[in-house]
Structure 1
Amino acid sequence: MLVGGGGLLAGGLYYRSIESGIERVEAFDGIPEESRPQAVAGDAMNIMLLGSDSRDPDSSSGSRTDTIILAHLPADRSSAQLISIPRDTWVSVPKSRDGRGGRDAKINAAYAWGGVPLMVQTVEKFTGVRVDHVTMVDFSGFKEIVDALGGVEITVEKGFTSRHSLNPGGRREFVAGRQTMDGAAALDYARERYAFADGDFTRIKHQQQVIKAILDKAASGGTLTSPTRLNSFVRATADSVAVDESMSLLDLAMELRHLRGGNLDFFTCPTKGTGRIGSESVVLADREKAKVLFDAVRRDSVPDIVAAAK
């Protein structure tokens, strides 16, 4: 018992030391409290996940976020609902502290104009949901995370060719069917959008697949019972994320340790498809359906979230 207790204490201290090294961001700095939505369901939690992809051919700088997900954790923590908001969604962006924004634009422009705080304000204004925490993910870090897990299982619905691959020559062929992907293949799969008629919508589905596969593999016996693999996964994850100053990834992981892929629901914010506003190609939100969906999130009503997202 003494040896076991010492091991648990050492393990706890080790993971606390890993968490202390995770990059922190001032996600809520300068946001006027009176402008923010009120929290309706006190024990529920809403986390804004922002993903950047420095290898995206559309990215000319690091000042953009290409993946926006509002993750809802119900009060009983029995499941999680992840709602992707397409990066080209046309929304009203509040004005940043230095006067940028204050007009309608694609939602990911908020990050370029005012960083994480303006992104929080924009998502809160669009959804009416209060953001409790923020996690930023370097999607290129998917490669290291997946490799640390020994690969992930992905079912490719329809074969396609990625022309912006990490492979020499920039091409990778994906064939239909279930397969094990290493980190480079999973990253290529999650970032490709030019191969599809609906572009970013298919990419969102693929990103959701990879997130689910990572969770399932990380929670599997093969990872949890292998100190070497578990250590590699924890370190790779810590190197790939940044969180707001009050968020504890270790505490959250303990709260959600029972979740598996089957407990996750993935949705995309309701849209009316794409269109053009001026010279820009944008995604047009279905605001009536989105209002019903995000109202269910505010009330922490999982059945209503699922119904509204269909």
Structure 2
Amino acid sequence: MAEPDRPGRVRAGGRGTGVATVAGRAVVLGAGLAVLAASGFTYYTYASLSAGLTTSKALAGVQRSAPPHLDNSVNLLLIGLDSRKDMNGNDLPPQFVQDELHAGDSSEVGGYNTNTLIVLHMPADDGKVTALSIPRDDYVQTYGADGGMHKIKEAYGIAKAAAEPKLAAQGLKGAQLEQQSRDAGRAATLATVQNFLGIPIDHFAEINLLGFYDIAQAVGPVTVCLNHATSDPAEDGQGSGFSGQAGLNTLNASQALAFVRQRHNLPGGDLDRTHRQQAFIASVENKLKDEGLFNDLGRMQSLLDVVKKDVVIDDKLDILDFAQQATDLTGGNVEFNTLPITGFATIGGEDVNTVDPALIAREVQQLFGHDPGPAPTASGTPGPTPPPTPAPATTSPAAAPSPSQAPVAASGSSSSDPAAGLPMQGPAVSMGGIPCVN
């Protein structure tokens, strides 16, 4: 049967907010391109921006083995890379990494882990955009490198490290070696996510720690809300350096990065960090709406500069179409969800999240309306159907107060005892205000 109109570009339509604002560390991409559309830039300016972007061909091979599209929806993977290097592989200044990023004093800390993975599902019917966060420690079958079981965040770094000596043997070095080995990492991450969720990935955007810091600088102070006071000192390369009081907190760029990176001293650990990333994006959207960013040409230019400096996108993403969808940036048309886990385990000395492929398939089907079919094996052939598992916990949109309201806890949260083998899932987060999180 012929595949229905497989999208090569992001389609025009009424889903600008989802495209423009849900990006974790990659929030800069949507915001910057929303600026492009909202400010009425000329085609010349658009062409200039396109010429300055870093693009990747990593998606091409991955799409050849992708599950078929059942409709005209679009899935875009947002990758937040926990790297202390720039786009060319150069180490960031140690003092800057330590003082501003609170990320240790070595470029080797964090490696090339993808600590943020968010899939944007933009439905064909102009409905609400769904943003699905994948916990970074989910223990899954990886693709593109050794084909082993690893934390999903490690697929990028494993594939990059495996590709480097082969590329070096071909005479590649410096920035060229860095970019092509990163492409191997991107391809592995894309293939792993695609097979894990059982959905095709149509586009992707990638940004690292420096990019998040830069966009936070360009946007200016952002207000977030905490359910409880918390502190996470940065010591010996561990800890985010974040400290906040219960209620509303206004964060500069350095504090914002620490806020979305904290996982220690939180009741939900890494899952709470995922919810913080979601809540931060909602808070940014609230700020852009309240302050009328699109009327500030200087700040708009700063956002565009960050897009050119810090973001990598796939080479098939049509930026003009993408920007045209972003004009209603503050429409509140997005809901965040987080994939459920079944519990925790220690494997090879590493703490991991255990997951049930059948549960994941049902969750994705429910959220995206896409039947993923049987999970593929490492060789790419369908594997056996896992045994039945409990249905996922139901989530509902979070109550998101405006800054003038008293902070309230996000609703819809549910969790179960890992020992009981029941799924655990955090609250869904909707745009439209400042959600309170742990």
Shorter-chain TM-score tier = 0.7 to 0.9
Aligned twin of 2:213 = 143
Aligned twin of 2:71 = 41
TM-score (norm 2): 0.60
Pairing 1:124–2:194 present: yes
Amino acid at match of 1:92: Q
Cα distance in structure 1, aligned partners of 2:41 and 2:243: 45
Cα distance in structure 2, aligned partners of 1:38 and 1:296: 17
Pairing 1:241–2:288 present: no
Pairing 1:159–2:229 present: yes
In the superposition, relative to structure 1, how do residues 153 and 227 fare at CA in structure 2: closer, same or farther (>3 Å)?
same
In the superposition, relative to structure 1, how do residues 127 and 62 fare at CA in structure 2: closer, same or farther (>3 Å)?
same
Stretch of structure 1 that moved more, 53-62 or 257-266: 53-62
Q: Which structure dedicates a bigger proportion of its chain to strand?
A: 1
Aligned twin of 1:3 = none
Amino acid at match of 2:152: I
Amino acid at match of 1:222: G
- The 5-angstrom pairing of residues 265-284 of structure 1 reads 265-284=335-354
Identity of aligned residues (%): 28
Cα distance in structure 2, aligned partners of 1:108 and 1:260: 31
Aligned twin of 1:91 = 140
User: Pick from 58, 69, 76: which aligns with 2:118?
Assistant: 69
Stretch of structure 1 that moved more, 174-183 or 211-220: 211-220
CA RMSD after TM alignment: 2.9
How far off its partner does 1:192 sit? 1.3
Amino acid at match of 1:53: D
Count of aligned positions:
291
* Cα deviation code 1:117-150 (max 9, x no counterpart): 1111111111101000011022332222122122
Aligned twin of 2:387 = none
Pairing 1:16–2:47 present: yes
Aligned twin of 2:25 = none
| Equivalent residues of 2:288, 2:330 under 8 A apart | no
TM-score (norm 1): 0.83
Q: Which ranges in structure 2 are unaligned for 5 or more consecutive residues?
A: 1-38, 85-102, 160-184, 372-393, 397-422, 429-438
User: Pick from 153, 156, 166: which aligns with 1:108?
Assistant: 153
Cα distance in structure 2, aligned partners of 1:65 and 1:150: 25
How far off its partner does 1:292 sit? 1.3
Aligned twin of 2:381 = none
How far off its partner does 1:224 sit? 0.9
| Equivalent residues of 2:117, 2:135 under 8 A apart | yes
- The 5-angstrom pairing of residues 175-214 of structure 1 reads 175-214=245-284
Stretch of structure 1 that moved more, 207-216 or 252-261: 252-261
How far off its partner does 1:39 sit? 1.0
Stretch of structure 1 that moved more, 199-208 or 154-163: 154-163
How far off its partner does 1:217 sit? 3.0
* Cα deviation code 1:197-247 (max 9, x no counterpart): 432111111111122222333455521111112111222233221100111
How far off its partner does 1:251 sit? 2.2
| Equivalent residues of 1:163, 1:172 under 8 A apart | yes
Aligned twin of 1:174 = 244
In the superposition, relative to structure 1, how do residues 173 and 76 fare at CA in structure 2: closer, same or farther (>3 Å)?
same
Q: Which ranges in structure 1 are unaligned for 5 or more consecutive residues?
A: 1-7
In the superposition, relative to structure 1, how do residues 171 and 135 fare at CA in structure 2: closer, same or farther (>3 Å)?
closer
| Equivalent residues of 1:157, 1:177 under 8 A apart | yes
* Cα deviation code 1:259-279 (max 9, x no counterpart): 437322111101113212342
Cα distance in structure 1, aligned partners of 2:41 and 2:49: 12
Amino acid at match of 1:107: I
| Equivalent residues of 2:67, 2:200 under 8 A apart | yes
